[in-house]
């Protein structure tokens, strides 16, 4: 129990001087960012600014050309996505990565199925119950844990994808444009779910093209322009005009 | 009400429930029209099950392949190579070695298919189209088109004409394969990963499922099943010939599709494949009893399969 205050203040994720180039093309230039538990940081920037590359670096898909990543103060280097996942980092992909013809609970446990008995058979009951409990907690309104993904609305699917990430993430959730394909009401529901992640003390990094949404959800905003980190602002102390000019580079 | 029956259908793995109606309809049709021709005799009905045993086993393997989003066109050729391998080895060596040779040939060809698909990323349609022709040729050249007799009574009893507690061994093989296949498909992690791979390979991959390994595995399952089917043919006919399995391709694919397995992956049913296979067997049998010529049989069977596949595909896409 040495200094819980200190532990809370210590960042979950530290990115230090991350640099990434593909061949001769520089994708990310000298990027540094700290993320704390219970904090939502928005990553904004125009198309091609390097947001997705950064997500891929954090989730272990790409290795940075130089720079270091630390999780809970421990330096880490992920050789592939499964390493990042087993360290407690979950990604909600833009395409959601759900198996459409399978029930919600099988998607939640995809690749990490619960087994029972000496023959290691699928424990569908346990998976269903855990799923139901989780979607209730997060207030993801779906007909049931055994509903098939194809029968759900876009917002419900997004809710399922976020619930899956929440279930497995212990440290950090990366959200890649979670509401890009949703209507107004559905967007509001998903935003509620994202805000609930704060209460679960999760660190969240969200990519969004909607500045309104960024201002509704985030604690801090990090701006990228052509691979260059333009700056980080506390959401409460900035406004849209400043962020827009940072994104476009027009003062 | 519709939702409830749907839920029940799902629970009992009867997704392609159209097939059960089709099965009953065809059965009733033959039962009435062929009442005087011996369709309904116990002997005839059990004959249908015995004759479809190899096709049913191939169909079970194919359920795994299709569910994973791949296809296997080569299983018919594998049947011939496996049966001939077993028969040739048994001429010189022990029965056990012959069985191992047959199953081993099936698994090896399945491995070849799977490795080309999984690790060279060649489309399974083209790979197995090529190996279908390749191993049909191998089967022909193995014995210079000769048929090889299988004289071991133990072998022909075990894989063909024998019985246990009065139940014919071919029925026991069918039941065993369906139960084990169903359990693996529905109740194990492997089955779940096969289905997920066919449903959305990217989702499967980012969820940590080793997608190439699944693709390799399903084609080996199909090869192994075809190998076993080859042994059953050799046991029942007491001989192996290059023509074994040659005419099963259309019947088996139709049985699997009609049985509720999606052609593009993510969904399937082992029990449905059994019913589909029995339906095809019943069709064959009924058309012969009706006295149709071989060419008429082919035409009628083709039309009925077309009709049945169309109905079951429409039924599943609406669900």
DSSP A41-68: EEEE--TTSSHHHHHHHHTTSS--SEEE
Mutation to test the A interface, candidates B192, B197, B263, most A Cβ within 10 Å: B192
Rounded Cα–Cα distance for residues A105 and A148 (Å): 9
Distance (Å) from the alpha carbon of B67 to chain A's nearest alpha carbon: 11
Using an 8 Å CB-CB cutoff, list chain B residues near A147: none
Q: Who among B188, B193, B206 is closest to A121 (CB)?
A: B188
Contacts of B53 (CB under 8 A, 6+ apart): B170, B171, B173, B174, B232, B236
DSSP for B5-18?
Answer: HHHHHHHTT-SSTH
Which residues in B have their CB inside 8 Å of a CB on A? 183, 186-189, 191-193, 195-196, 199-200, 202-204, 206-209, 262, 266-267
A100-104, A246-250, B54-58, B183-187 — which is least confidently predicted?
A246-250
A170-179, B139-148, B297-306 — which is least confidently predicted?
B297-306
Q: If pLDDT is split at 50, 70 and 90, which confidence band does A184 have?
A: confident
Q: Over the range A115-128, which residues count as b (16 or more CB within 10 Å of their CB) and which as e?
A: eeeeeebbbbeebb
Tokens of A111: 């690749």
A238 or B212: which leads in pLDDT: B212
Q: Who among B188, B191, B266 is closest to A99 (CB)?
A: B266
Using an 8 Å CB-CB cutoff, list chain A residues near B200: 97-100
Q: Who among B187, B189, B196 is closest to A99 (CB)?
A: B196
Strongest mean pLDDT among B1-15, B91-105, B123-137: B123-137
Q: Chain B residue closest to A91 (CA)?
A: B206
| Chain segment B71-120, per-residue pLDDT in tens | 999 999 999 999 999 999 988 888 889 999 999 999 999 999 999 999 99
Q: Residue A39, Cβ neighbours under 10 Å: how many?
A: 19
Q: Who among B191, B199, B206 is closest to A101 (CB)?
A: B199
Range of the domain at B308: 2-318
Considering chain B, what percentage of its residues have pLDDT values greater than 90? 51
Q: Which residues pair with B239 in a beta bridge?
A: B149
Q: Residue B176 pLDDT > 70, yes or no?
A: yes
* pLDDT given at position B125: 95
Q: Residue A238 pLDDT > 70, yes or no?
A: yes
What does the DSSP 8-state code read for residue A117? T
Rounded Cα–Cα distance for residues B214 and B67 (Å): 11
Domain A4-98+157-248 has CATH 3.40.50.300: yes
The phi and psi torsions of A208 (rounded to 5 degrees) equal -150, 145
Q: Residue B9 pLDDT > 50, yes or no?
A: no
Distance (Å) from the alpha carbon of A109 to chain B's nearest alpha carbon: 9
Query: Please, is B194 exposed, middle or buried when counting C-beta atoms within 10 Å of its C-beta (0-12, 13-18, 19+)?
Result: buried
Select from A88, A49, A2, A34 the least CA-distant residue to A228.
A49
Q: Residue B130 pLDDT > 70, yes or no?
A: yes
Distance (Å) from the alpha carbon of A99 to chain B's nearest alpha carbon: 5
* pLDDT given at position B16: 55
Q: For residue A33, give the H/E element and its range.
A: strand A25-35
Summarize the confidence of residues A218-223 as an average pLDDT.
93
Rg (CA), chain B: 19
* pLDDT given at position A102: 94
Q: What is the dihedral angle through the alpha carbons of B271, B7, B64, B61, rounded to the nearest 10 degrees?
A: 0
Summarize the confidence of residues B275-296 as an average pLDDT.
89
Mutation to test the A interface, candidates B182, B188, B201, B207, most A Cβ within 10 Å: B207
Q: Residue B3, Cβ neighbours under 10 Å: how many?
A: 8
Summarize the confidence of residues B231-246 as an average pLDDT.
90
Contact B196 A106 (CB under 8 A): yes
Prediction pTM value: 0.87
B15 or A249: which leads in pLDDT: A249
Per the structure, the count of domains in chain B is 1
Angle in degrees, 0-180, between the axes of helices B75-92 and B124-142, rounded to the nearest 10: 30
Using an 8 Å CB-CB cutoff, list chain A residues near B208: 81-82, 85, 111-112
Tell me the CATH number at B141. 1.10.3470
């Amino acid at each position: 129990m040495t200094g819980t205050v200190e532990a809370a203040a210590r960042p979950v994720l530290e990115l230090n001087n991350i640099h990434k180039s593909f061949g001769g093309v520089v994708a990310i230039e000298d990027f540094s960012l700290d993320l704390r538990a219970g904090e939502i940081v928005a990553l904004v920037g125009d198309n091609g600014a390097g947001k997705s590359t950064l997500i891929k670096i954090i989730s272990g898909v790409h290795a940075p050309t130089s720079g270091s990543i630390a999780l809970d103060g421990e330096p880490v280097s992920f050789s592939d996505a499964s390493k990042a996942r087993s360290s407690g980092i979950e990604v909600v992909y833009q395409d959601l990565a759900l198996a459409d013809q399978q029930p919600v609970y099988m998607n939640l446990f995809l690749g990490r199925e619960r087994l029972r008995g000496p023959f290691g058979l699928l424990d569908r009951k346990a998976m269903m119950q855990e799923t139901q409990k989780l979607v209730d907690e997060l207030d993801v309104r779906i007909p049931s844990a055994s509903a098939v993904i194809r029968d759900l609305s876009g917002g419900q699917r997004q809710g399922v994808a976020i619930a899956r990430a929440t279930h497995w993430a212990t440290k950090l959730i990366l959200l890649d444009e979670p509401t890009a394909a949703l209507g107004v009401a559905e967007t509001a529901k998903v935003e509620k779910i994202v805000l609930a992640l704060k209460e679960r003390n999760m660190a969240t990094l969200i990519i969004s093209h909607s500045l309104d949404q960024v201002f509704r959800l985030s604690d801090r905003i990090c701006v990228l322009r052509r691979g260059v980190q333009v700056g980080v602002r506390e959401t409460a102390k900035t406004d849209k005009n400043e962020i827009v000019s940072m994104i476009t580079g027009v003062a | 009400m519709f939702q409830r029956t749907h839920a029940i259908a799902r629970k009992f793995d009867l997704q392609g429930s159209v097939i059960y109606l089709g099965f009953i309809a065809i059965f009733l049709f033959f039962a009435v029209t062929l009442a005087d021709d011996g369709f309904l005799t116990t002997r005839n009905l059990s004959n249908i099950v015995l004759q479809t045993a190899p096709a049913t086993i191939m169909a079970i393997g194919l359920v795994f392949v299709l569910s994973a989003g791949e296809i296997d066109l080569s299983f018919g050729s594998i049947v011939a190579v496996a049966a001939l391998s077993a028969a040739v080895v048994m001429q010189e060596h022990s029965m056990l070695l012959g069985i191992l040779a047959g199953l081993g040939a099936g698994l090896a060809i399945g491995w070849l298919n799977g490795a080309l698909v999984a690790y060279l990323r060649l489309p399974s349609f083209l790979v197995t189209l090529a190996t279908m022709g390749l191993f049909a040729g191998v089967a022909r050249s193995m014995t210079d088109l000769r048929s090889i007799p299988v004289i071991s009574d133990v072998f022909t009893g075990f894989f063909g004409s024998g019985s246990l507690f009065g139940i014919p061994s071919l029925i026991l093989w069918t039941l065993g394969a369906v139960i084990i296949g169903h359990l693996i498909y529905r109740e194990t992690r492997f089955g779940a990963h096969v289905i997920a791979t066919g449903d959305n390979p990217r989702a499967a991959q980012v969820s940590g499922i080793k997608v190439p390994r699944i693709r390799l595995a399903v084609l080996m399952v199909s090869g192994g099943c075809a190998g076993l089917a080859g042994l059953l043919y050799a046991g029942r006919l007491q001989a192996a010939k290059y023509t074994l399995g040659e005419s099963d391709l259309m019947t088996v694919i139709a049985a699997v599709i009609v049985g509720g397995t999606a052609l593009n992956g993510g969904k399937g049913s082992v029990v449905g494949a059994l019913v589909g296979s029995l339906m095809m067997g019943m069709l064959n049998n009924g058309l012969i009893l009706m006295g149709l010529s071989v060419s008429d049989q082919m035409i009628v069977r083709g039309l009925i399969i077309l009709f049945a596949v169309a109905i079951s595909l429409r039924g599943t896409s609406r669900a």
